Amino acid sequence: MTINSDCSSEMSRTAASYEKEKMEAEKMKAKEELDLPLSKKPKPRPNYKELTPIVWRNVLIMGLLHLGFLHGFIMCFFCNYRTILLGALFYVVSGFGITVGAHRLWSHRQFKARIPLRILLMIFQTISFQGSIYQWCRDHRAHHKWADTDADPHNATRGFFFSHIGWLLVKKHPDVIRKGARLPLDDLLQDPVVYYQKIFYYPMAVFLTFVLPTVIPYYFWNEHLYTAFLVAGVARYVLSLHVTFTINSVAHLWGNRPYDTHIQPRQNLFVSIVGYGEGFHNYHHTFPQDYAQSEWGAKYFNIAKGFIDFAAHCGLAYDRIKISPEQVLQRRKRTGDLAHGHTHSHDTYEEDYDWEHDQYMKILDD
C-alpha cells in the first residue's frame, strides 16, 4: 500500500509539473508572438471548407466526363483510325486556341492579329470548351495579378489537386470574386470577335466540341455515333483539359526559378512539351508581355511561338513583343538564380545568347 501510494503521489506531481511547464511554454509563445512586428505574426489558415464549399453539380459533371474518357480510351482500340485522327486534329487546334488565342493574344496582348486570324483563333478556343474568351482572360488576368494567393482562381499554395482541377469543383473564394471585379476588361469587349463569342458561346461550344466531331465520323466513314462521341469528343476534350491544367499545377510546383526566385511559378520542360511551349512559367510570370514566353524562342517545343511567327510571315500577326536578351540577363542578376535554369553548358551559352539576340533583332526589323 505504501509503495502504491508513493508511486501515485510521484505520478501526480510529475503530471502537475508537466502541465505547469506546458502552460508556461504556451504563455511564452503567446508573449513572443505579441512582441513580433505585425508583418511577421503568423496568420491563421483560412477555413477553406466554409469559404469555398464543394459544388456537387461540378463534381458530378467532371466525374461523368472522366468516366467517358476511360470508356473513350478503351474504344480507341476498336474504332476507325480516322476517328482517332479527327480527335487528334480537334485536340491540336483547341490547344492553339488556348495558348495562342486566349492566352498570348487576348489575355496578355503580346502581339496583334488581323480579323481573319482572330476569328480562326476564336473558333479554336471555342472548341476547347474552357469558358468564353472573356471568362478565360478574366480568370487568367486575376491569376497573374494575385498569383498564388486567395485571389488567384487556382492558387497553387493550396496544393496540387486544387490548382490542377479542384478549383473547378468548389465555389470561388470571395477574394477571387471581389478583386476580380476590379480588373480592367473593357479592351476585350471592344473586340467584336470576343463580344459576339461571349453572347453565343454555349451553343457554339457544344456544337464545335461535341456535335461536330461526332457527326463527321458518322457521316463520312460510318462510325457509330456513340463511339465517335466518346473518342473524338469526350476523350479528346478531357485530355486537353488536363494538359491545360498542368500549367496551373505542375508548372507552379516543380522546376527551377532562374528569373525570379521570389515567385512560385517554375520552369518545367514536361509542361512545355505537352503544353505547346507554356512550361517556361518562371520566365512568363517575370516577363508576361513577351510573346515567346521563353528566353529560347521557339526552341524546346514552343510551337505556339512558331504558330505566331508563321502567322506574322503570312501578314496575319504583327507587333510581336519580345524582351531583349540584355533585359533578361539584368533581371536574372537582380532577382533570379544564375546558377540554374539553363540546359546548356557554359561553353554553348554564348552561342545561344547570340542566337536569341539575332531572333530579337529580326523581330524588330519585321
Confidence at residue 348, expressed as pLDDT on a 0 to 100 scale:
38
Q: Do both 237 and 299 map to the same domain?
A: no
Confidence at residue 31, expressed as pLDDT on a 0 to 100 scale:
52
Model confidence over 165-187: pLDDT tens digits? 999 999 999 999 999 999 999 99
Q: Do both 112 and 151 map to the same domain?
A: yes
Written as nine digits, the cell of 152 is: 488567384
Confidence at residue 34, expressed as pLDDT on a 0 to 100 scale:
47
Of 130, 156, 110, 104, give the one whose Cα is nearest residue 268. 156
Confidence at residue 23, expressed as pLDDT on a 0 to 100 scale:
65
Confidence at residue 29, expressed as pLDDT on a 0 to 100 scale:
58
Q: Do both 71 and 88 map to the same domain?
A: yes
Residue type, 213: P
Q: Per the structure, how many domains does the chain have?
A: 2
Cα dihedral 76/82/83/88 (nearest 10): 90
Confidence at residue 14, expressed as pLDDT on a 0 to 100 scale:
57
Q: Do both 54 and 186 map to the same domain?
A: yes
Confidence at residue 17, expressed as pLDDT on a 0 to 100 scale:
63
Confidence at residue 351, expressed as pLDDT on a 0 to 100 scale:
44
Decide: residue 326, CB within 10 A, 0-12 exposed, 13-18 middle, 19+ buried: exposed
Confidence at residue 284, expressed as pLDDT on a 0 to 100 scale:
96
Structural domain boundaries enclosing 355: 256-366
Confidence at residue 51, expressed as pLDDT on a 0 to 100 scale:
77
* Strand 317-318 versus strand 112-113 pairing type: antiparallel
Ranges of the chain whose pLDDT falls below 50: 1-3, 33-36, 38-41, 343-357, 360-361, 364
Q: Do both 162 and 244 map to the same domain?
A: yes
The reply to whether 5 falls in a domain is no
The reply to whether 25 falls in a domain is no
- Indicate the residue among 248, 280, 314 that finishes a domain: 248
